[in-house]
Amino acid sequence: MSLLHTPPNRPNGKSVQLMTTCLCDAFYADVAQATVEVLEFLGCDIELPDAQTCCGQPAFNGGDWANSRKVVRHTAKVFAGDKPIIVPSGSCAAMLFHGAPLEFEKEADLPVIQDLANRTWELLDFIVNGLGITDWPGTFPAKMTVHRSCHLRGSNSGAAITTLLESIEGLDLEPIEEVEQCCGFGGTFSVSFPNISKTMGELKIENLTASKPDVVAAADMGCMMHFGGMMDKQGNTTKRMHIAQVLRDSLKNAGKL
């Protein structure tokens, strides 16, 4: 056990709430769409709470917990009920199940926040450990490297990603050097320390693309916005995909969607 303590006994029914995340809401519509298509392929009934905004992570990481709690309280209200909450991003999920209880330790409404935490799943963790899927019936003929986002550290998601990807027909998963190293995003960190962050990103891109993969994949759009934005600036055209997109496209390739 390490950084993230995934709550035990989370609800795992097929009637779920989807947290789009603000990044997918604003920038990455297709990632959210792929998430929906994958979950519906698995027979899930998806509720998309209309009043959702952001998980509160920027202010939490920035040290402004008072403002972060304001956003988390809103999120708890929007995602009330007893359904599992599915998040297609390791760091936003970790914000809800780990960060939020931390910043509410001394608050009277901690039980409400703990309940929110206890229902939150990162998407891949949910598919493998919530729904029990370990064999993905898709085809994806490509060489791929995967960035292990830091917010998967210590959670079940890392192993879940490997399980699913390894079971996809035709997919050649290449290991990368220094898999434990951060891409340098860190939210407000990349704004406060743009140069240190940049060097970290360059190293990550080097390691991710050393084996000349067809696709670089990850399960967190924060990381992907950062190192993807750098790859765009560098003119590096290696394709980048969220794991949800890989799962969805592999189903399409196999004629199952």
87-146 positions binding other proteins, by CB under 8 A = 99, 102-103
Q: Does 239 bind other proteins (CB under 8 A)?
A: no
Q: Does 210 bind other proteins (CB under 8 A)?
A: no
Minimum distance from CB of 171 to other proteins (Å)? 25
Minimum distance from CB of 155 to other proteins (Å)? 10
Which among 6-14, 22-30, 113-121, 132-140 is the span making contact with other proteins, rule CB under 8 A?
22-30
Q: How far apart are CA 114 and CA 109, in angstroms?
A: 9
* Residue recorded with tokens 């799943």: 121
If one counts every other C-beta atom within 10 angstroms of the C-beta of residue 54, the result is 21
Amino acid in position 225 = M
Q: Which is nearer to other proteins, 202 or 214 (CB)?
A: 202
Q: Which of 13, 15, 48, 111 binds other proteins (CB under 8 A)?
A: 48
Q: Which of 80, 81, 191, 256 binds other proteins (CB under 8 A)?
A: 191
Q: Does 158 bind other proteins (CB under 8 A)?
A: no
What is the secondary structure of 181-250 as a DSSP string? S--S-TTHHHHHSHHHHHHHHHHHHHHHHTT--SEEEES-HHHHHHHHHHHHHHT---EEEEHHHHHHHH
Q: Which of 12, 153, 174, 253 binds other proteins (CB under 8 A)?
A: 153
Asked if residues 168 and 250 have their Cβ atoms less than 8 Å apart, the reply is yes
Q: Does 209 bind other proteins (CB under 8 A)?
A: no
Q: Name beta bridge partners: 24.
A: none
Which among 8-16, 119-127, 133-141, 180-188 is the span making contact with other proteins, rule CB under 8 A?
180-188
Q: Under 8 Å CB-to-CB from 44, ≥6 apart: which residues? A: 14, 15, 16
Minimum distance from CB of 174 to other proteins (Å)? 19
Q: Which is nearer to other proteins, 84 or 201 (CB)?
A: 201
Q: Does 80 bind other proteins (CB under 8 A)?
A: no
Asked if residues 213 and 99 have their Cβ atoms less than 8 Å apart, the reply is no
Q: Does 232 bind other proteins (CB under 8 A)?
A: yes
Q: Count residues binding other proteins (CB under 8 A).
A: 75
Minimum distance from CB of 143 to other proteins (Å)? 24
Q: How far apart are CA 84 and CA 6, in angstroms?
A: 14
Q: Does 208 bind other proteins (CB under 8 A)?
A: no
Angle between the N-to-C axes of helices 157-166 and 243-253, in degrees from 0 to 180, rounded to the nearest 10: 20
Minimum distance from CB of 2 to other proteins (Å)? 5
Q: Does 7 bind other proteins (CB under 8 A)?
A: no
Angle between the N-to-C axes of helices 243-253 and 29-41, in degrees from 0 to 180, rounded to the nearest 10: 60
